[in-house]
Amino acid sequence: MSAVPGAAGEPPVGPARVPACLEQPHSPTGDETRTAWRQPAPGHISPAYRKPDTPGQRQARLAEGMSPSGPVRTAAPPPRSLVSPARATAGITVYGCEPDEAALFRELAPRFGAALTITEAAVCAANADLAAGNRCVSIGHRTRVSHDTLRALRRAGVEYVSTRSIGYDHIDVAYAESIGLSVGNVSYSPDSVADYTLMLMLMVLRHGKETVRRTDAHDYRLPSARGTELRDLTVGVVGAGRIGTAVINRLRGFGCRVLAHDIRPQRSPAGYRPLGQLLRNSDIVTLHTPLTAETRHLLDRARIAEMKRGAFVINTGRGQLLDTAALLAALERGHLAGAALDVLEGEEGVFYADWRGRPMEHGLLSRLQEMPNVLISPHTAYYTGHALRDMVENTLGTCLDFALGRPA
């Protein structure tokens, strides 16, 4: 838990003195045993989730209205100009910040006029005092933020919590708002997750896991089963937001039939279908919808039973969109042909940690990994250099907007 030192000429970076965090990532222990967790209200979608402001647009504003020494005089100022790096306008405490993120924060902060306190420690009530004097904090998606933590942040003077993710199911938004905290999320390149989704589809269709394992063991025979070509299949995309739309655009290049389901049918860029019809007619179902109270276990036992026999499930959205026990049962009895999961129920405390040489505490994960037709990756679809830069840049931008009273 060390703070990242600021480079010369940059806004100050806070100290490394962080008390041991008393909360574990997404743990059911601690104050969460006393305070019931609430999902965001049905139908609630943060305005930031639909925010059209992309990193490219922010970069264009930087190019148009900013030089290393300050604002450039132009005939018409950019719509949301940034501030001179010599005048810090936003104090931000950045929690759960990995070294690669910290490097980007240090690089970009002067251009946004941000004074940073950076720590690798996940936010918790014990280290909320690191935010004292700062109105804004930035948190990662790996740790559930308890009510105790939110109250501690508010006592420290925090007014705005920005999560470096699109999903915000790790924060009780309604409770945060009830104690005077605004919550925002950030957009990032949808291409990172879309590319990864297509990769997973192709790997399960071509038995990639089995082929790679056999080759690693110097077994160069053909796989036990022939692959399937994507162009011969129907793919159902559940959730037609920025990522879902990017997936659909890629699928069209493969020549396959694409169906889509979304709570707003009018925005679907493919053939819209009610969910049940999409499940019955799709050879592959891929999930890209936000996690809310309404979408938790969107694919439960009953809906999985509606799917075509021999279909595949891809999930790069949120683990709780899918009933993992029901998925495992469908795979074991042969109703589904395979699955590729970048997210998983109960991944907190398992993903992003080194479990080599230790017993795995997630029974369903262990059983899924034993299956040759199931691919698991540790919530890494978003993790590209482009997307990481987007997250940091948009975090700084949204915090600056809040500090200056700009509308979200």
Q: Which of 120, 347, 348, 393 is catalytic?
A: 347
Cβ atoms 347, 378 nearer than 8 A: yes
Catalytic residue among 318, 348, 362, 389: 318
Tell me how crowded residue 177 is: count the other CB atoms within 10 A of its CB. 12
CATH for the stretch 190-376? 3.40.50.720
Please say whether the structural domain 30-189+384-403 has been given the CATH code 3.40.50.720: yes
Average pLDDT of the residues of the chain:
82
Is 64 labeled as catalytic in the residue annotation? no
* 362 against 148, higher pLDDT: 148
Location of structure tokens 């896991």: 209
| pTM for the full predicted model | 0.78
Whether the per-residue pLDDT at 76 is higher than 80: the answer is no
Task: Using pLDDT thresholds of 50, 70 and 90, give the confidence band for residue 408.
Answer: low
Q: How many CB atoms within 10 Å of residue 19?
A: 14
- Residue with token string 């996690």: 291
The reported pLDDT for the residue numbered 64 is 36
Measured CA to CA, the distance from residue 109 to residue 50 in angstroms comes to 24
- The question of whether 335 is a catalytic residue gets the answer no
Q: Verify whether residue 318 is a known catalytic residue.
A: yes
Q: Give the pLDDT score at 141.
A: 87
Nearest to 18 by CA among 119, 109, 151: 119
- Round to whole Å and give the CA distance between 338 and 11: 50
- Please give the pLDDT value at position 353: 87
When mean pLDDT is compared across 43-57, 83-97, 102-116, the lowest value belongs to 43-57
Both tokens of 311, joined, read 């279909």
CATH 3.40.50.720 boundaries in the chain: 30-189+384-403, 190-376
Of the spans 70-79, 219-228, 291-300, which averages the highest pLDDT? 291-300
* pLDDT in the model for residue 162: 97
214-240: buried (b, 16+ CB within 10 Å) or exposed (e) per residue?
A: beeeeeeeeeeeeebebeebbbbbbbb
Residue for token digits 């699928």? 251
pLDDT at 362: 76
- Return phi, psi of residue 353, to 5°: -130, 155
Out of 26, 142, 362, 379, the active site residue is 379
